[in-house]
Amino acid sequence: MKEFKQFDIVEDYSDHHFKKANLSGNKGHSLIINNTDKVKKKIAREWKILQENLPESIYVRVYEGRIDLLRAAIIGAAGTPYHDGLFFFDILFPSDYPARPPSVHFHSYGLQINPNLYADGSVCLSLLNTWIGKKHERWNPSESTILQVLLSIQALVLNEKPYFNEPFMFGLGGNKKSLTYNMNTFVLSCKMMLYVLRKPPLHFEDFVAAHFRERAHVISMASKAYMDDFPDIDCLVGNESLFSSTATANKPENFKMAMSLFYPELVKALALTGASVGIFIEQIRKDEEEIPSISQAAVRNNKFGFTGKICNKFWKILQNLNF
């Protein structure tokens, strides 16, 4: 991880979401930028700000032949349902930047993991003028920067209680609904880890492998503990141990069932990075050999009532995934 630069200039932008934007000409090879010198100088300042001020959990790649494009990776913070996940964003500087805010596309892999991050890749944020906000929260051409955008996504979007990102959710029963939302989000985050491992964005292949190789043990340990009904979502601590500061919360059956389906595939994918997860692989092998999974038993025997229906549903979902 230390060998992977936090900020770097690269060439190939062929998989960038906005690769066809700001182009003109018969073959679309001419880059359109209004007030060229002014915009180029502003983007150069943005590069310098990023190069000197990125936190350890954000990585950026810019493109030598397309200064209007940028890609960022944000590591999910501890204490959130996104912990240890990798979340990628493609960014486009408009031709009249900074008069208008940048456009941002989230690599969602078809999943909605947050009220502000849509399955189609849209990002809802006041600073991008894609969400209603107070005047001081909206894009200010004379003050706002790309670094502020990335920090806002990290702190305000990928936070501890994303359920409350949705307006008017601070009401009766909100905390219970928030916990349920976090559980579902953690399952989706695990699913996204699988997608990222199998198809990492260009120029981040080594970073993805190194990150998950380094964090594989913690991810596997946390996933197994969540599945076994031990901790709350936010109980992973810095020394890579698990604890429960409050009474252990009972997880709904559908959450535990979803985790039981994704967990083996996630651990096997982590193992392919060269991570030391042998203890988890061995346990999975023993479970598969000695104990028929509840999900498969429910499908075969249909003896589990409501739980059986849940198992059946998730088993069908699993069969439709490209594992």
Q: Which residues are catalytic?
A: 124
What is the full DSSP assignment across 166-194? STT--STTHHHHHHHHHHHHHHHHHHHHH
Distance CA 313, CA 323 (A): 17
Distance CA 224, CA 259 (A): 8
Which among 121, 241, 88, 252 has a CA at the least distance from the CA of 182?
Answer: 252
User: Which pair of structure tokens corresponds to residue 39?
Assistant: 């915009």
Distance CA 206, CA 104 (A): 23
Distant-in-sequence, close-in-space partners of 208: CB < 8 Å, separation ≥ 6: 86, 196, 197, 200
SS3 content of the chain, % helix, strand, coil (to 5): 45, 10, 45
Bridge partners (DSSP) of residue 242 are 236
